[in-house]
Amino acid sequence: IKTTDTELYDYMEHLLIASFPEDEYRELGELKEYTDHKPIFFNNIILNENKPVGLITYWDLKDFYYIEHCAIDPSQRNCGYGQKLLNYLSGILDKPIVLEVEHPTDELAQRRINFY
């Protein structure tokens, strides 16, 4: 998406803020700049039947793809969207995919790490 995709961009921004602590995502103005002007940065909405259910942002870093953020809408979690997304990406991207996770400090963090 681009910032001109107003409805989807707003959805992405709200989900990002709700899903990650403030110190784990870039300043929103910078995110808008990257979304519209960095050709190696990909800002995507995950859709199911044309309805947004999540987001994923990643970088094409020449030798690999780096997933910066991935989140499923809380109302849509545990429906298999995350697994479908990762399966889809691994099928279309032609280089290794790198994903950083947080330290396993609580049960939810441990579940996310186990998922990836």
DSSP percent split of the chain into helix, strand, coil, nearest 5: 45, 25, 30
Are the C-beta atoms of 35 and 3 separated by less than 8 Å? yes
Tokens 């429906």 belong to 79
Residue pLDDT, tens place only, 44-63: 999 999 999 999 999 999 99
* Tokens representing residue 91 in the block: 């099928």
**How confident is the prediction for the chain on average, in pLDDT?**
90
| Amino acid present at 12 | M
Tokens 């995709």 belong to 5
Which pTM does this prediction carry?
Answer: 0.85
Are the C-beta atoms of 81 and 70 separated by less than 8 Å? no
Q: Judge whether residue 94 has pLDDT over 70.
A: yes
